[in-house]
Structure 1
C-alpha cells in the first residue's frame, strides 16, 4: 500500500481579511505595473483620452508591453494625492493586490505587507477560494 502525500493546506486556508481603504500606500513604489492591451484601451476610455496620448503621457513601452510610469517620487503616475485617478479601470495587477503569490508565500510576508497597507487584516473576510481566484502569480 502506498501513501499519497497531500500538500498541506496553505496558511491562509481559513481566509484573510482585507478592505481597500484607498490610501494609496500600495501605489507609492518602487514597483512595476504591467498594462495589457485591453487594459490600455479601458484606461484610455475611462480617462477619455486617445490611446496614443495615454501611451505618450502615462505609459512606458518595454520589451514585453507597457508599464505605468513612475513619478519622480517613485509613486504611480495615476496617483493624485492618495487617490488613484483610474481606480474603477485600474489594471488587474492593482485589482488583485494584496493577493499576490509573494505576499501570500507566508504569514510573515503577509504581516510584513500589513505594516505597509492598513487595509490588510481588516474589513471583510475573503475565503480561500476567493483569494485563489484573485491571486496574481
Structure 2
C-alpha cells in the first residue's frame, strides 16, 4: 500500500529542509521573502540565493551542513512566505526515499494503514 498524500499535513519536523539541493524561486518569491525579512531584494538575492546551474533561475543557498539556510532550531524562519517548492512537498513533488525521513510519512506509512 502507498501513502495517501491527499491527507498530508506537515508536522514541521524539518527533515526535508535538511536535504541539500535546489529550492528554486519563482519570479515573485525573492521580493516576497525579502519584504518578509525586511531586506532590500538585491541584498536578499546576494545574501541568500545562487544562480542555478542551468542558469534558469535562483535557488535558496544551503547552509554549510547542506540544510536550508532558513532552517533553525525553531523551524523555518520564512515559513509564512516559504517558496512554492517547499509548500508543494511532498504532494506535488518528492525525492526518492522521503518516506524514511518525513515524520508524517513515517507515522502514516503503509504499516499503519
Report if TM-score (shorter chain) is over 0.5.
yes
User: Any stretches of 5+ residues in structure 2 without a counterpart?
Assistant: 109-113
Q: What is the SS of the residue equivalent to 1:114?
A: helix
TM-score normalised to structure 1 length: 0.67
Alignment-derived partner of residue 27 in structure 1: 17
Contact 1:16 1:121 (8 Å CA) reproduced: no
User: Segments of 4+ in structure 1 off by > 3 A?
Assistant: 100-103
The alignment yields a C-alpha RMSD, in angstroms, of: 2.2
**1:84 equivalent in structure 2:** 76
What is the CA–CA distance in structure 1 between the aligned matches of 2:9 and 2:67, rounded to whole Å? 21
| Structure 1 unaligned residues grouped into runs of 5+ | 1-10, 104-108, 124-137
Shift of 1:122: 5.4
TM value normalised by structure 2: 0.80
Structure 1 residue 114 corresponds to structure 2 residue 104: no
> When you count strand as a share of all residues, which structure comes out higher?
1
Aligned residues: 105
